[in-house]
Amino acid sequence: MKKDAGHFSQKHPADRKILDRVAKAVQEKAKGRELTCAQAFDIARKTDVSPDEVGFTIDRLEIAISRCQLGLFGYSPVSRIIKPAETVPEDLEQAIRTALVDGRLPCAAAWEIARRHRMARIRVCSACETMKIKITRCQLGAF
């Protein structure tokens, strides 16, 4: 984790409370002060809450999210592992362009495109890198 990392809880209203069952699950899965993106989504599924609720809990507990499933952050020592795709198939490019909101692709849309095209999520993000399109609205609230 970066030296200046932390203070994640400051981006949320002070009166918003965490759910005990979610906090317990996060604390059980976290290694040190980190929890992977995949673990966070697993917790959301198992505790029957939204990924955003898990992200909020992670922030409140000052735990860093690692290993973004789109390859955008949380990989040591380089942070990002995403690389531009050599080529972007026309149908994938069209799917991405259709899903843009204000010129950016929401994380949830990237996941849905990957599901529909039966490809790894990171491949959608690689296509976006090639197309110079930013991913936004992390489902966990990281960005």
What's the pLDDT score for residue 3? 42
Residue 124 CA to its chain's centroid (Å): 13
- pLDDT tens figures, 86-130: 999 999 999 999 999 999 999 999 999 999 999 999 999 999 999
Instruction: Express the helix, strand and coil content of the chain in percent, nearest 5 each.
Output: 45, 10, 45
Determine what percent of the chain is predicted with pLDDT higher than 90: 87
Integer Cα distance of 12 and 49 in angstroms: 18
Integer Cα distance of 67 and 1 in angstroms: 12
DSSP 139: T
User: Cα separations (Å) of 121 from 3, 38, 99, 117?
Assistant: 29, 12, 15, 10
What's the pLDDT score for residue 13? 84
What's the pLDDT score for residue 12? 87
pLDDT band for 6, please (50, 70, 90 cuts).
Answer: low
Integer Cα distance of 140 and 143 in angstroms: 8
Question: Average pLDDT of the chain?
Answer: 94
Determine what percent of the chain is predicted with pLDDT higher than 70: 96
pLDDT of 2 > 70? The answer is: no
What's the pLDDT score for residue 4? 47
